[in-house]
Each structure stands twice: as C-alpha cells, then as structure tokens.
Amino acid sequence: MSSLNPALAVAAGRPHLATLGFHRLTLLLVGLNATVALVTFPFYESFGLAIDWSSFTVPLVATAFAIAGWLGPVATPGRAAELPIAESLLVFVLMAACCTVVTPAQYLAVALDRPLADGWLARADAFMGISVPEAVSWTRSHPWLVRVLWLSYFSLQAQFVAPILLLGILRRDRDRLWEFAFHFHVCLIATLLGLVLFPAMCAFGYYRFEALIDQTVFIRDFAALRSGTFTVLRLTELEGLITFPTFHVAGGLIVTWVFRRYAAVFAGLLLLNTLMIASTVLLGPHYAIDIVASVALVGLSILLYRHWGRRLLGASEP
C-alpha cells in the first residue's frame, strides 16, 4: 500500500501538490473529462437540446467547496494527517466532473437517433439460453427477493463513496484510491461511447413487459429524444440511459475490485454486488449480454491501469 509520506509533503513550509493528488494521472483524468465536454457541448443546440444551467447550481457549489477543501492545506499548512482528506476531495471533484459531463451527454447520444441494438442484444441473450421476460416473471413471484434485489440495485451510489472514505481517508491507501478514480472514468466514458454506438430501449422496452424497477422516466425521455421532442436538459431530472455495456455492473465490479486487499470489506461487497449484478436482469432493466460486456470492460480497464495508469501515478504495488 502507498500512503502519503509527510516527509515528502512539504515544500517551503507548504505541502507539495503531488502529495495532494496533483500528478500525471490527475492530468489524464482531467483531460478525459475535458475531452468529453469539448466533444459534446457544441452539439447540444444542434439537436434542439438546451441546458438549464440553474440545475447545475447545487453540484457546482458542492464541487467548489470540495476544491476549497483540497486547496486548504496549501493556503494554511497544517498537520500531515490532513493531506489524505485533501487528496480524497480531489478524487471526489474529478468524479463529480466526470458525472457532470457524461450524464447530459447520454441524452445527446440518444438524440442521435441511431439504429437500435435491441434485436441483436436479445439474440445474444437467446444464444446464452437466457430470457429476461421469463427471469422477471420468476422474480415477480418472490416478493422477498424483489425487495432484496431492489435494495442491492440502488446501493451503487452509496458504494461510490466507500473508496473515498475508507481507502482515501481512513486507510490512506492512495494506490487503490487512484485506481478506483481511473476505473470510474474509463468505464463511465466507455459506456457512454457504447450508448453512442449501440443505443437500446432496454429489455423491458423491447419485450414490452413491466420491469420491477420504475422505468417511467427512461421510457418517456428515450422516446422524446429519438422523436426530437425533448428540449431542456435539467441535471437534477436526468435518467441513466446507458444499456450496453451497463455502468451499473461495471461500477459494482470496480468498487469490489479496489477493496480486494481488505478481506472483510471485499467479502461484503462481493455478496452485495453479486446480488446487484443479478438484479440488472432479474428486475428487468438490462439484457444478460450487458453484464458480459461490462465484465469485459472492467477487465480491459484493469489491464490499462496496470500497464499505464500505475506508471502515471507512480504506485508502489501491482
């Protein structure tokens, strides 16, 4: 594990920016976020999509406070114990920035009105011998299982906080913290690209059954975007539209993976995210092939980090 070294943290009485998380890997993640913004923002107006910037106020204010917290040790040098908090805040800022540019970009991707991929996604499921409608019908007959799967499905956002708090602040394991940040960016942006190339109305839309998770907003927004009647993007009202690969599965996998050296936490996450991954099919939001693609995506991200990301960070462990 690579923790912050107070002996390297001070330059002229102030912490060095590298110990606060400003290194080559940070620049890569900033570059990825900037690239998505530059590639997408000029085209919203072309597709009749106006961004309601007032809906960005709360996340922007929260991000501004996080940036201030990150810069705090520079402005007022204090104890070395404060440095992991500052570095963790920077990871939060980078992740928030990634979500801020990718979330509305999903709507632009669907507005491209490309041919839907549902037909071959359904055929891929059939080839594997899996029927999502039958799986949902079976789950529906077990109300206790629906509740368990529902809770696991909606645990993902809370899980994204765990690496920042546990790895970044409590354990001071900056290697795993930055590995998480790398996988988060790579997988989220890759799934956005997947939506551009393979838009899909999801299993419940294709097979026309009622999913066990409310998909009213998805159905409404997806149809309106493809018909050109969706006009205003409000960050607080946007729905996840990504299908293949699914970031829901990828996110659970990367959270579990970065805790692999912490047996108790890893075991708990393994159980939770096994249920969460199963829920993406058993509750009806996704095709089974979406899971397969997400596993492959996370595997690729792990390889990229080991052969590239770690060198940018200067991590001490594989």
Per-position pLDDT tens, the chain of length 318: 554 444 444 444 566 666 667 789 999 999 999 999 999 999 999 999 998 888 888 888 888 887 777 777 666 665 555 677 888 989 999 999 999 999 999 999 999 999 999 999 999 999 999 999 999 999 999 999 999 999 999 999 999 999 999 999 898 898 999 999 999 999 999 999 999 999 999 999 999 999 999 999 999 999 999 999 999 998 888 889 999 999 999 999 999 999 999 999 999 999 999 999 999 999 999 999 999 999 999 999 999 999 988 888 875 444
**CB-CB neighbours of 245 under 10 Å:** 26
User: Which of 175, 36, 25, 12 has its CA nearest to residue 97?
Assistant: 36
Instruction: Report the DSSP beta bridge partners of residue 15.
Output: 10
Question: Is 289 within 8 Å of 124 (Cβ atoms)?
Answer: yes
CA 235, 26, 156, 164 dihedral sign is negative
* Dist. CA 179–CA 24, nearest whole Å: 13
As a whole number of angstroms, the distance between CA 111 and CA 43 comes to 11
Strand blocks (E) in the chain:
10-11, 14-15, 50-51, 232-233
Q: Are 132 and 284 in contact (CB under 8 A)?
A: yes
Burial class (CB in 10 A: 0-12, 13-18, 19+), 86: buried
CA separation for the pair 237, 14 (Å, rounded): 42
Q: Helix 174-197 crosses helix 83-111 at what angle (to 10 degrees)?
A: 0
pTM: 0.90
What number of other Cβ atoms are within 10 A of residue 181's Cβ? 28
**163/33 Cα distance (integer angstroms):** 20
Rounded distance between C-alpha atoms, residue 201 and residue 241, angstroms = 9
Distance between CA 73 and CA 129 in Å, rounded? 56
Calpha distance 282→211 (Å, rounded): 9
